[in-house]
């Protein structure tokens, strides 16, 4: 018979029961976007009767209500509880205190030795300066001079020897102090390492070896995806590498475990929304004017990016606000943010509890920022349950390559064998190799998939705004690739172009990826002055404008490019826009946007012309550039 019991308050019984300690083995961890579910197993010989079975070495980051215990055998689980192992915690406290005392004593000894070294340096200075022994009124005899020089030489030699010995002693003590500092740092990280116990009260019908399975949820863990997009040239397939960035400070090391990555998030609200009655009210004139001003203030733009700490761990719930306004958002579980801005935004301000506020320039594309934790003293760090880490680590687990985010990539990694499983509302990536993720908060970047994808490459330019050609890759049937939104690193023709964001919020069957500016395509928009002039007739004036757009393909392969420009739109009856000319282009009658679509051969150029006139009262001024 298999029993499964969820956590509920422990009931104390009057009679004494036997306490049976059981060691468990961590078998599997399912890592969610925020949080992780740990699975442990054990087998134990259990005698008949009521037993208090104690599973030791459990994380302190455990969600008590998530504990489940399964047992196969003739027994009944009466209750389950989680409690702190205070004896082990006290042992850790005493161990840390001992190292702290050694560190303090060594500091004092280094300070005293440094003072002695300073004394000998002062004596050296006095000996060197005391060359005029007899003074101007007394001349030394040869024997006296020889004795004086011998004394100075011997004493100066002794002083220098003492200085060298003290300097060497200080260096050795500083090395020992650094070792103690590193040891203290590691002990602080593991301060709460596995100091919980899960205790079940079981009524065993007959003695037997019982297999147990325990699962529980921890919060201080998670993962998020990043991508490397590599394009060799515009006639080759696009290479898409998907990486999983896994981190945890749950209080226990995940050593040689089976790992499953899930797109689920147990912290999200799973209750369906309820629609409420929609009541209409009158809006006062002041509010109405405010809404109109907000709506016409400028074109909307979406500012996107990600907020991490100084070690690359995403910061959830951080506030990202447009400077000088109350308009903003908060980061999601993986530190990503999206702010819809109206008009021109210069800078954003990010802040979060426990971190220093940070102001940064609002970019046109995806912007990642790192915020620093507020400074804490050593005494404050000692009592932290999970500690922090210094930098990133590159290491190997059994059968898996783990790369730190800041470590140089020495060789091309081999993606792990991954089985992708679709659940009703989530996707799971099962890593087939055994994996290790330590309880140190360091980011472990695991390459889980690399795909060669056929893509249609197309350039885009709007030279009125920016004389640059932006390369885009269009992918059909992208839903079959099992992608989720995430930050991307862009590589084109072997050159790193920067970062972008893989945004999958589209209903189209074609996914468009922006790969950045290609310097191999030059764009120039020129005002042809010989065809651009002003004419006056009566009370009106007419301005003529003619532009020439030149796109040159400096590459060795043909390229496809979309070129856009626009005609002005009249907003008043007395303003007339006429004489529109746009050879071999398409015109959107509503927006007056002109679009050319060309294929340009290697080392060739394509010219396009745009011409129009604007008539308006001569006493008025218009912005026509």
Give yes or no: residues 135 and 44 share one domain.
no
pLDDT at 388: 33
Domain match, 52 and 131 both:
no
**Whole-number pLDDT of residue 295:** 42
The SS3 call for residue 318 is: coil
Q: Are residues 203 and 81 in the same domain?
A: yes
Residue 280 has pLDDT above 70, yes or no: no
Q: Which domain holds residue 203?
A: 2-31+38-85+195-218
Position 364 pLDDT exceeds 70: no
- Give CA–CA dist 465/272, Å, rounded: 44
Positive or negative, the Cα torsion across 355, 262, 430, 3? positive
pLDDT digits 0-9 by tens, 208-221 = 999 999 999 998 89
Phi, psi of 437 (to 5 degrees): -130, 115
Q: Which residues of 380-396 are buried (b: 16+ CB within 10 A; e: fewer)?
A: eebeeebbbbeebbbee
Whether residue 612 is found in the same domain as residue 538: yes
- Residue 353's pLDDT band, with cuts at 50, 70 and 90, is confident
Instruction: Return the axis-axis angle of helices 142-189 and 86-129, rounded to nearest 10°.
Output: 160
Same domain (yes/no): 155, 205: no
Instruction: Give me the chain's average pLDDT, please.
Output: 79
Residue 236 falls inside a structural domain: no
Q: What percent of the chain has pLDDT over 90?
A: 25
- In terms of pLDDT, which residue wins out, 521 or 375? 521
Asked if 177 and 214 sit in the same domain, the reply is no
Statement to judge: residues 126 and 156 lie in one domain: yes
pLDDT of residue 377: 36
Is 574 inside a domain boundary?
A: yes
In this structure, what token pair is assigned to residue 179?
Answer: 């070792």
Distance CA 106, CA 618 (A): 86
Q: What is the CATH number of the domain that holds 331?
A: 2.60.40.4130
Q: What pLDDT score does 381 carry?
A: 29
Identify whether residues 79 and 212 lie together within a single domain: yes
Spatial distance between the Cα atoms of 23 and 40, rounded to a whole number of angstroms: 10
Q: Is 598 within the bounds of a domain?
A: yes
- Asked if the structure places residue 291 within a domain, the reply is no
Residue 398, pLDDT score: 31
Residues in Cβ contact with 426 at an 8 Å cutoff, skipping those fewer than 6 apart? 262, 263, 264
Q: Are residues 17 and 95 in the same domain?
A: no
Among 310, 341, 371, the domain boundary falls at: 371
Asked if residues 78 and 11 have their Cβ atoms less than 8 Å apart, the reply is: yes
DSSP per position, 538-599: TTEEEEEEEEEEEEEE-SSS-EEEEEEEE-----STT-EEEEEE-TT-EE-TTT-EEEEEEE
* Three state DSSP letters for 390-447: CCCCCEEECCEEEECCCCCCCCCCCCCCEEEEECCCCEEEEEEEEEEECCCCCCEEEE
Using CA atoms, how far apart are residues 408 and 393, in angstroms rounded to an integer?
Answer: 11
**pTM for the predicted model, two decimal places:** 0.60
- The reply to whether 586 and 602 lie within a common domain is yes
Most confident of the ranges 262-276, 393-407, 600-614: 600-614
The alpha-carbon radius of gyration of the chain (Å, integer) is: 36
Q: Are strands 486-492 and 495-502 parallel, antiparallel or unpaired?
A: antiparallel
Same-domain pairing of 578 and 552: yes
- Looking from the CA of 450 toward its CB, the CA atoms found within 13 Å total 10
Binning pLDDT at 50, 70 and 90, where does residue 101 land? confident
Alpha-carbon distance of 357 to 161, in angstroms, equals: 52
Instruction: Identify whether residues 79 and 203 lie together within a single domain.
Output: yes
CB under 8 Å to 487, separation ≥6 — which residues?
226, 227, 306, 366, 368, 499, 500, 501, 502
Within a 10 A sphere around the Cβ of 114, how many other Cβ atoms?
14
* Domain edge (last residue) among 322, 347, 371: 371
Domain contains 493:
no
On whether residue 540 sits in a domain, the answer given is yes
Q: How does pLDDT run across 286-337, given as a tens digit for each residue?
A: 545 544 444 434 445 678 888 888 878 888 888 898 888 878 888 887 788 8
In a domain, 469, yes or no: no
Mean pLDDT for the stretch of residues 569-586? 89
Give me the number of domains the chain comprises. Answer: 4
Instruction: Report yes or no on 455 lying in a domain.
Output: no
Specify the CATH number for the domain of residue 541: 2.60.40.3680
Find where tokens 């005494």 sit: 379
CA atoms within 13 A on the CB side of 567: 27
């Amino acid at each position: 018979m298999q029993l499964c019991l969820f956590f509920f308050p422990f009931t104390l019984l009057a009679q004494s029961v036997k306490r049976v300690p059981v060691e468990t083995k961590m078998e599997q961890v399912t890592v969610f976007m925020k949080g992780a579910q740990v699975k442990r197993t054990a087998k134990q010989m259990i005698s008949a009767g009521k037993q208090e079975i104690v599973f030791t070495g459990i994380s302190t980051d455990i969600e008590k209500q998530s504990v489940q215990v399964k047992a196969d055998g003739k027994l009944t689980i009466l209750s389950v509880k989680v409690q702190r192992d205070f004896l082990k915690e006290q042992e850790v406290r005493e161990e840390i205190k001992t190292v702290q005392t050694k560190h303090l004593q060594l500091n004092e000894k280094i300070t005293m030795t440094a003072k002695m070294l300073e004394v000998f340096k002062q004596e050296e200075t006095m000996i060197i300066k005391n060359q005029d022994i007899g003074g101007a009124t007394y001349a030394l005899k040869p024997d006296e001079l020889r004795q004086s020089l011998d004394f100075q030489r011997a004493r100066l030699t002794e002083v220098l020897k003492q200085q060298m010995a003290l300097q060497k002693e200080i260096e050795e003590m500083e090395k020992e102090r650094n070792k103690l500092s590193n040891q203290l740092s590691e002990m602080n990280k593991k301060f709460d390492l596995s100091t919980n116990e899960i205790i079940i009260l079981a009524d065993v019908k007959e003695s037997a070896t019982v297999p147990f399975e325990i699962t529980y949820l921890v919060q201080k863990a998670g993962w998020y995806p990043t991508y490397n997009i590599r394009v060799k040239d515009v006639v080759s397939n696009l290479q898409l590498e998907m990486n999983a960035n896994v981190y945890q400070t749950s209080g226990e090391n995940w050593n040689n475990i089976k790992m499953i990555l899930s797109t689920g998030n147990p912290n999200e609200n799973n209750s369906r929304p309820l629609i409420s009655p929609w009541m209409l009210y009158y809006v006062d004139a002041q509010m109405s004017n405010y809404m109109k001003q907000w709506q016409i203030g400028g074109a909307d733009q979406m500012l996107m990016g990600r907020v991490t700490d100084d070690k690359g761990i995403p910061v959830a719930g951080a506030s990202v606000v447009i400077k000088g306004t109350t308009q903003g958002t908060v980061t999601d579980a993986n530190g990503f943010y999206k702010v819809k801005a109206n008009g021109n935004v210069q800078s954003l301000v990010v802040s979060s509890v426990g971190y220093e506020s940070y102001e940064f320039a609002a970019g046109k594309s995806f912007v990642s920022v790192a915020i620093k934790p507020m400074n804490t003293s050593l005494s404050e760090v000692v009592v932290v349950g999970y500690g922090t880490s210094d930098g990133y680590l590159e290491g190997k687990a059994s059968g898996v390559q783990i790369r730190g985010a800041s470590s140089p990539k020495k060789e091309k990694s081999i993606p792990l064998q991954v089985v992708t499983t679709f659940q009703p509302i989530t996707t799971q990536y099962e890593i087939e190799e055994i994996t290790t993720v330590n309880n140190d908060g360091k980011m472990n970047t695991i390459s889980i998939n690399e795909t060669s994808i056929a893509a249609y490459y197309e350039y885009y330019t709007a030279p009125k705004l920016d004389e640059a050609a932006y390369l885009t890759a269009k992918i059909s049937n992208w839903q079959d690739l099992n992608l989720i939104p995430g930050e991307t690193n862009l590589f084109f023709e072997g050159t790193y172009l920067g970062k972008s964001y893989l945004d999958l919020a589209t209903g189209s069957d074609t996914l468009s990826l922006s790969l950045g500016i290609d310097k191999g395509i030059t764009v120039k928009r020129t005002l042809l002055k010989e065809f651009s002039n002003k004419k006056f007739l009566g009370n009106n004036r007419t301005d003529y404008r003619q532009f020439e757009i030149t796109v040159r393909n400096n590459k060795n392969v043909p390229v496809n490019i979309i070129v856009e420009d626009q005609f002005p739109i009249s907003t008043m009856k007395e303003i007339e826009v006429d004489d529109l000319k746009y050879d071999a282009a398409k015109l959107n009658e509503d927006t007056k946007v002109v679009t050319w679509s060309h294929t340009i051969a290697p080392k060739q150029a394509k010219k396009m012309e745009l011409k129009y006139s604007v008539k308006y009262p001569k006493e008025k001024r218009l912005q026509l550039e």
